[in-house]
Chain A
Amino acid sequence: MFTKLGVLGSVMAFALTTTTPVFAGTAEVIHWWTTGGEAAALKILVDAYQKTGNTWKDNPVAGGEAARMVARTRILGGDPPTSMQWQVGAPLMALAEEGQLNDIDAVAQDWDKLLPKVIADNAKYKGKYVTAPMDIHGHNWLWGNQAVLDDVGIPMPKTWDELIASADKIRAKGYIPLALGGQSWQEIFVFESILIDVGGRDFLTKVTYDLDDTALRSPQMLKAFETFAKVRDLVDPGSPSRDWNITGGLLINGKAAYMIMGDWLKGEFVAANKAPGKDIACEVFPAGGKTLVFGTDAFAMTAVKDPATREAQLALAKTIMDPVVQKEFSLRKGSIPPRLDVDKTGFDPCAQIAMGEAAEGHLFLVPDNVTDATGIGALVDQMTTFLHSKMTPQEGVTAMADAVAATR
């Protein structure tokens, strides 16, 4: 109760200290946060924003692709939103090169000091900030149902070898070793963690950022495919095409031992009254890989001209980066704040681990935001094709390298 009051107090204090701008404008914002938990987090941002005297005009569009499609069509139609949820890195630069973004340096003077370097670098175009990052979501998390692990009598594995070695014991007790939703966006988390396991951060960089042909055809890659082929036997027959949240149910209800999924899965634990870090163990996987693959939800600032809207835009950027807003937002969303200086109290143990990784400089921006989207897309297509086929690891390596080469 006290903590709740404390939160309320700090939000109010923030509102009081913010001076009302000369212009009060309206910010129309396109985003894809439409579910209950997401909306609760968004409410923190919106309430804080409205207290600056500006108006938030909500324009939710479910699904990242659809939202980006709408944003792009709006820009082409000459009616851009004031701001829109948009990835950092390459997709953001594509937009900036078209002259479709405003810089927000007026309110971003100290952001370089506050943000992890990888986010700062990818949020700027020609040295100026064009987007404001709201949260960080880690992808390569291994979750383990503690009750199942205790029943089998095994600890959380540290490496892929350990995980695969434990599978027989898990199966002997009648559990599914790995809960996996067989859709490419879920499978890539598994594949990326294998790449880290095989060759560490450098290898992951060469494969997913550089799409380096030598790395793609290397013996390490073959080893990665050998491990990946074994994943076929770790999952249950219902895996292909299954949604991530249904798959999460297998883990939460104690039917499966492990699952590899981003930290938004915590929302499902909380809904089922399971505590992350206690009932469901968590680990950045593989342990000691010094790599937390992450994505960040950021709000790109479009090239609006109207002075009032421009002010509303700057106020939005400022609100997003407010430390209280960042903390309260992430507590509800299951993410961690991009600002490194945010107070860690109140975050669950898994979020604490993530914040530690971020502070250590272990963040690794999701390849979609770095690499040519067509190239990394071809890699993902071949990854999922391999998993659902009977191809040998060597065939998988060749097919992937060839498909990626064709996109150059």
Chain B
Amino acid sequence: MRRFLQRHVSQVALSPSLALIAIFLYGFIAYTAAVSTTNSKAFPRFDSFVGLEQYWRLFHTPRWHVAFTNMFLFGGLFLLVTISLGLVIAILIDQRIRAESFFRSIVMYPMAMSFVVTGIIWQWLLNPTLGIEVMVHQLGFTSFRLDWLTNPDTVIWALVVAAFWQGCGLVMALFLAGLRGIDEDIWKAAAVDGIPAWRVYVYIVIPMLAPVFLTVVVLLSLSIVRAFDLVVALTNGGPGVSSDLPSVFMFDMAFRRTNLGLSAASAVVMLGTVLAILIPYLYVETRERA
């Protein structure tokens, strides 16, 4: 027994977590999938099996298509902007600067703030009759337009900017922690060889940060999938339904439109889509190392 424990110590250490995850993640995913085949309204009811009807309904809901497309549009832009700028900011802060703590805190504080209220501030800032546009007009640039929030075609950018503002701190912190974990000797060696700093970053340091990228991509993807306050506080899904996201759609269907079946169907479709993208990435990312 003792020997078994010693040989399989890592599995033993992991097993309680795995048991919990099996129930609370996978068990509940299965539960959600089951609900999606029912006509559940306010409460889950398994005596109202309707097969794939909710999925048919979902794909014939124009608003779902908007929300689903937005997930990619918003998600793609948000990932791109936040990862690239987050990395750049982390590198800048890592240059043995003065007042590092100040700069680090100023990038990080937004994630501590409830977006319910900071969303109002972004709403003010981006409102063409109230915020930045008015300010720039007062400076004399009267042709300046900033109508992201009120234009259905560009409202996604308003979400991206606000989400970046809120999410960048975490990405910066992760990259900074990663950068600090890298062996000092690499820099010494590079300095001896006279290699310019940017080349060390591009060819040596950033590739070494690959596991951090994995962490960042997963965490940001989670925040895309869970983005809720962001949309509700900033645009309420509008103008029209143009800034809807699956998470908001799901909540609306479950708690405003009392259609748990449809809500569950949208959750399953979203989960399936995210995993279809994520699993190949996980496969590639974990291959060489583990």
Contact = CB atoms under 8 A, between A and B. Distances in A.
Nearest to B244: A381
Contact of B255 (A65, A241, A403): A65
Contacts of A205: none
Contact of A65 (B41, B129, B256): B256
Given A240-B150, A382-B62, A407-B61, A72 B239 contact: no
Contact of A406 (B60, B149, B238, B239): B60
Interface stretch (A160-168, A338-346, A372-380): A372-380
A72 B40 CA distance: 13
B128 A238 contact: yes
A76 B43 contact: yes
A98 B42 contact: yes
A87 to B, nearest CB: 10
A231 B128 CA distance: 19
A184 B129 contact: no
A381 B239 contact: no
A384 B42 contact: no
A48 B61 CA distance: 47
A220 interface: no
Contacts of A183: 236, 238
Interface in B239-290: 239-242, 251-259, 262
Contacts of B257: 373-374, 377
A373 B238 contact: no
B76 interface: no
Interface in B125-164: 127-130, 147, 149-152, 155
Nearest to A63: B232
B127 A242 contact: yes
B42 A94 contact: yes
A374 B262 contact: yes
Contacts of A240: 149-152, 238-239
A387 B128 CA distance: 19
Contact of A388 (B42, B57, B239): B239
Nearest to B235: A241
A104 to B, nearest CB: 20
A81 to B, nearest CB: 16
B104 interface: no
Counting chain A CB atoms within 10 Å of each CB, which of B62, B128, B151, B253 scores highest?
B62
B123 interface: yes
B130 A238 contact: yes
A66 B155 CA distance: 25
B240 A407 contact: no
B185 to A, nearest CB: 53
Nearest to A385: B240
B43 A72 contact: yes
Interface in A168-222: 182-184
B41 A389 contact: no
A101 B238 CA distance: 36
Interface residues of A, number: 38
A75 B43 CA distance: 10
A239 B258 contact: no
Contacts of A37: none
A94 B258 contact: yes
B130 A241 contact: no
Contacts of B254: 69
Contacts of B63: 378, 381, 385, 403
Given A94-B41, A236-B129, A238-B129, A388 B259 contact: no
A385 B57 contact: no
B57 A65 contact: no
A239 B253 CA distance: 26
B255 A384 contact: no
Nearest to A94: B42
A399 interface: yes
Interface in A349-408: 373-374, 377-378, 381-382, 384-389, 399, 403, 406-407
B150 A237 contact: yes
Contact of B256 (A237, A377, A406): A377
Contacts of A387: 240
Contacts of A98: 42-43
Contact of B238 (A68, A72, A184): A184
Nearest to A250: B129
A66 B237 CA distance: 17
Contacts of A406: 57, 60-61
Contact of A385 (B41, B123, B129, B241): B241
A79 to B, nearest CB: 15
A95 interface: yes
A91 interface: yes
A215 B290 CA distance: 63
Contacts of B151: 240
Contacts of A65: 251-252, 255-256
Given A381-B241, A389-B152, 6 more contacts: A72-B255, A237-B129, A374-B262, A378-B61, A388-B239, A403-B60
User: 6 tightest CB-CB pairs across the interface, nearest first?
Assistant: A406-B60, A238-B129, A240-B239, A388-B240, A388-B239, A240-B150
Interface of B: 41-43, 57, 60-63, 123, 127-130, 147, 149-152, 155, 234-242, 251-259, 262
26 contacts: A65-B251, A68-B255, A72-B42, A94-B42, A94-B258, A95-B42, A98-B42, A182-B239, A183-B236, A184-B238, A184-B241, A237-B129, A238-B128, A240-B149, A240-B239, A373-B257, A373-B258, A378-B61, A381-B61, A384-B238, A385-B240, A385-B241, A385-B242, A388-B239, A389-B152, A403-B62
